[in-house]
Chains A and B, each alone.
Chain A
Amino acid sequence: MKGRKRKGGSIAEQILDPAILEKVALWLDDAGVNSVEIETEDGRLVRIVAGAGVSTDDVASNPDISVARNRAKPVKAPIAGHFLPVHPARDREEATVGAAVVADEIIGFVKIGPLVMPLRVEEAGRLEGCGIEPGALVGYGDTVFLIEPAQ
């Protein structure tokens, strides 16, 4: 979810505002959703988890919400297709979990019909993980890899 920039601090600060957290928790509960991941403008992920005890009655007074902040930056699918961690003409991954990666490095692929699109690192860091199974279908914008930015 990308939001328009509003007055009163960054998106990240606004999301961490208790009043907004309560609202989000209500939305989650109404939608029957346990958690939501929000990507802020600087690319960070904020994961808001509504606890099991949340009910519409007491959420306003006692929001049971935990917020985990993750500095990791996503590498997203540039197009819908099948995720290929290994180039079909090669026998190993372009980068393994834990490896240092540099900006613009290609660390995986999305196959669309007879063509192959790159999954590219935007900012140097360390490959933290990959949440997609090899060959699985990914949608445009889906997070495939997470990169822990270099200090």
Chain B
Amino acid sequence: MIEVLQTGPLNTVQDLGRFGFRNAGVTSSGAMDRLALAVGNLLVGNDEGEAALEVQTFPFRLRFDRDTTVAITGADCDARLDGRRLPPWWALAVSAGQVVELATPRHSARAYLSFAGGIEVEPVMGSRSTSLRGGFGGLDGRFLAANDRLGVRPAGACVVPPGGFGAMPPETALADHFPASEDGTLLVRAIPAGEYALFGGEAERFWSQTWKISSQSDRTGYRLSGEPIKLVSPVELRSHGVVPGVVQMPPSGEAIVQMSDANTAGGYPKIAGVIDIDLWRLGQARIGSRLRFVRSSVAEALAVERAVETYLGDIRRTVPMLAEALAAMSRR
């Protein structure tokens, strides 16, 4: 068991998401940074989709009721175990009674706490993710509160070196595949969507201008501030399916990017779709930070997906090898 000692609002249990029920109006939910969730799970010996805690409001403190292995990935929250500093993207063995604490990150937005075995909550429609809007999944369909106790599912033997070990962060390991701008503006790759042409020459500004993530942003979607982009002439659209990554352009002309708790349907014209493999970076972008959209292609998106799969595959293969190597050396 783990016990939440201190938490802000909106911290939830998440896995990779709930799929196959969007036709019934069920949002997919799932981690905003699926890559950090996957890496955390692999470090503690889980399948990459096990349920973990997504922490986006701080400070967050947690006590372990039994010995286990935990990984902290995603945003660098200057994590501490009983006051002792831990590196980011780190996994380590913890003992019953120890307390882990996450402070407000300076750069990114969300941290993930993965436990060997995964969080024990009842799956709903095939997923343990919390659907805050639906009020189901995760821990009673709600966000975490102080004194909440969560079970951790049984895990096999997990060999972790003394002091723990970590993964190369994807920003570094995959730097060639996730370009960074010189001025720190997040570059988000997107592909023109269904109603792109209806914006005529205005659409060019979608790519050229720098957008700011407004305070009206959450797990459902990010509302972006910038110079408005208007349709050439007004259109009435039938409601249509919407998925995470869709960029809608409401009449205000300020873009909305649908995120993990995306609406399942909408009627605003779609100017673009963020490539799926860039959504984790958007999930780590903070309110008030700036981004630019970069025109991409299906071929590029698939190439980046392959690179990410290789990175995860490397971690999946190397974790048990490292454990074996350390065990062999300790016998010398």
CB-based contact A116/B325 at 8 Å: no
CB-based contact A114/B161 at 8 Å: no
Known: A106-B163, A114-B173. A88 touches B76 (CB 8 A): no
Q: Which residues of chain B come closer than 8 Å to A90, judged between CB atoms?
A: 76, 87-88
CB-based contact B319/A118 at 8 Å: no
Q: Which residues of chain A come closer than 8 Å to B167, judged between CB atoms?
A: 114-116
In the complex, per-residue mask of B311-326: 1 if CB is within 8 Å of any chain A CB, else 0? 1001100110010011
Among residues 93 to 134 in chain A, which have CB atoms less than 8 Å away from a CB atom of chain B? 94, 104-106, 109, 111-118, 120
Q: Which residues of chain B come closer than 8 Å to A104, judged between CB atoms?
A: 84, 163
Output the nearest chain B residue to A118 by Cβ-Cβ distance.
Answer: B163
CB-based contact B318/A120 at 8 Å: no
Q: Which residues of chain A come closer than 8 Å to B315, judged between CB atoms?
A: 114-115
Q: Which residues of chain A come closer than 8 Å to B166, judged between CB atoms?
A: 87, 109, 115-116, 118
Q: Identify which of A78, A89, A94, A113 gathers the most chain B CB atoms within 10 Å of its CB.
A: A89
Complexed CA–CA distance, A94 and B84 (Å): 12
Complexed CA–CA distance, A113 and B321 (Å): 11
CB-based contact A115/B318 at 8 Å: yes
Is B168 an interface position by the 8 A CB rule? yes
Among residues 20 to 62 in chain A, which have CB atoms less than 8 Å away from a CB atom of chain B? none
Complexed CA–CA distance, A113 and B325 (Å): 13
Q: Which residues of chain B come closer than 8 Å to A120, judged between CB atoms?
A: 162-163
* A79, A94, A111, A118: the one within 8 Å of B325 (CB): A79
Q: Which residues of chain A come closer than 8 Å to B318, judged between CB atoms?
A: 112-115
Q: Which residues of chain B come closer than 8 Å to A106, judged between CB atoms?
A: 85-87, 163
Output the nearest chain A residue to B92 by Cβ-Cβ distance.
Answer: A118
Complexed CA–CA distance, A79 and B322 (Å): 9
Complexed CA–CA distance, A105 and B163 (Å): 8
Is B165 an interface position by the 8 A CB rule? yes
CB-based contact A118/B84 at 8 Å: no
Nearest-CB distance from B201 to chain A (Å)? Answer: 41
CB-based contact B87/A87 at 8 Å: yes
Output the nearest chain A residue to B73 by Cβ-Cβ distance.
Answer: A89
In the complex, per-residue mask of B293-332: 1 if CB is within 8 Å of any chain A CB, else 0? 0000000000000000001001100110010011001000
CB-based contact B322/A114 at 8 Å: no
Among residues 71 to 85 in chain B, which have CB atoms less than 8 Å away from a CB atom of chain A? 76, 84-85
Nearest-CB distance from B110 to chain A (Å)? Answer: 14
CB-based contact B168/A114 at 8 Å: yes
* A–B pairs, 6, beta carbons within 8 Å: A78-B326, A89-B76, A89-B172, A106-B87, A117-B322, A140-B329
Given A89-B171, A115-B166, A115-B315, 14 more A-B residue pairs with CB atoms under 8 Å apart are A79-B322, A88-B168, A89-B87, A89-B88, A89-B89, A89-B169, A94-B85, A106-B87, A113-B318, A114-B173, A114-B311, A116-B168, A117-B161, A117-B165
